[in-house]
Amino acid sequence: MENQNNNINSSYERHYSERASSKVYPTEFVVRTFLAKYPHLNFKKPIAGDSVLDVGFGDGRNTGLLCDLGLDVSGIEITQGIVDQAKTRLSSLGFNANLKLGRNSSIPYKDESFDYILACHSCYYCDEGQSLRDNLKEYSRVLKTGGFLVASVANKSSYIFNDAEELSDGSLVVKNDPYNNRNGYRLHGFAAKEEIEQYFYPLFKNFSFGSADNDYYGIEERVFWVVCQKG
């Protein structure tokens, strides 16, 4: 259904346009994963010059961090308007990244282009006729063998799935988005870490997991953190 894609495109372009002049800060799980050490995090930290793809970079809050680390940064977003807004923000900070129009299941880069993929709150968005597995296959295609995927994955008990319609493929049609960006769109959710590992395998291996259970003053966000390696 083309309207589904058109609706989320326009919703998110408007969302980011409204905050284009505001300062933004990196997402906490991204900072912790890329910069800190934890006992259950099996992850080769990137070094300057490594290539990374920022999937669904939005306002560029994490893109700037990746640039600041000296990485060779690329990114994709769903509308040219979002791409242009992020380029302007990054340029004002003295950063340069190769940002392009693209989607989870259609990434405009060659096979095995990247050492790392960051998908912060993005990998589980499923376009009409596509599934999360299609997204993961595309991630695997552009990721080098042995490269790492760093992603957040939606928990089915999170606020975004309140009153959602669950489909047979594990995706859910959002019905009650308090931010009015995703109503009518399909997101894939999981109930447990074991489900995620089973779903991502065999495209990915060597899993590290974390999770968050946050109550942001009535918005109960629950999410899994996943770091894994291309098989």
Residues near 62 by Cβ (< 8 Å), separated by ≥ 6?
Answer: 26, 27, 30, 54, 118, 120
Q: Rounded to whole angstroms, what are the CA distances from 86 to 55, 67, 74, 99, 214?
A: 13, 13, 12, 8, 27
Please report whether residue 165 resides in a domain.
Answer: yes
Tokens standing for residue 75: 């990114």
Among the residue ranges 12-26, 90-104, 186-200, 201-215, the one predicted with the least confidence is: 12-26
The pLDDT value given to residue 148: 98
pLDDT at 2 over 60: no
Q: Are strands 114-119 and 98-101 parallel, antiparallel or unpaired?
A: unpaired
Indicate yes or no: pTM above 0.75. yes
Mean pLDDT of 134-142: 98
**Residue 1 scores a pLDDT above 60:** no
Residue type, 50: D
Residue 184 forms part of a structural domain:
yes
Is 49 within the bounds of a domain?
no
Residue 130 lies in a domain: yes
Question: Does residue 19 form part of some domain?
Answer: yes
CB neighbourhood size of 131 (10 A): 18
State the pLDDT at residue 19: 82
Q: How far apart are the first and last CA of the chain?
A: 33
- As to burial, measured by CB atoms within 10 angstroms (0-12 exposed, 13-18 middle, 19+ buried), residue 132 is buried
Domain residues for the domain of 174 are 2-44+54-230
Q: How far is CA 43 from the centre of its chain?
A: 18
Supply the CATH number for residue 219's domain: 3.40.50.150
Please report whether residue 147 resides in a domain.
yes
Q: What percent of the chain has pLDDT over 70?
A: 99
What's the pLDDT score for residue 22? Answer: 85
Number of domains in the chain: 1
Secondary structure element (H or E) that encloses residue 118, with its range: strand 114-119
Give the span between the Cα atoms of 161 and 208, in whole angstroms. 25
| pLDDT per residue as tens digits for the range 162-187 | 999 999 999 999 999 999 999 999 99
pLDDT digits (tens, 9 = 90+) for 202-224: 999 999 999 999 999 999 999 99
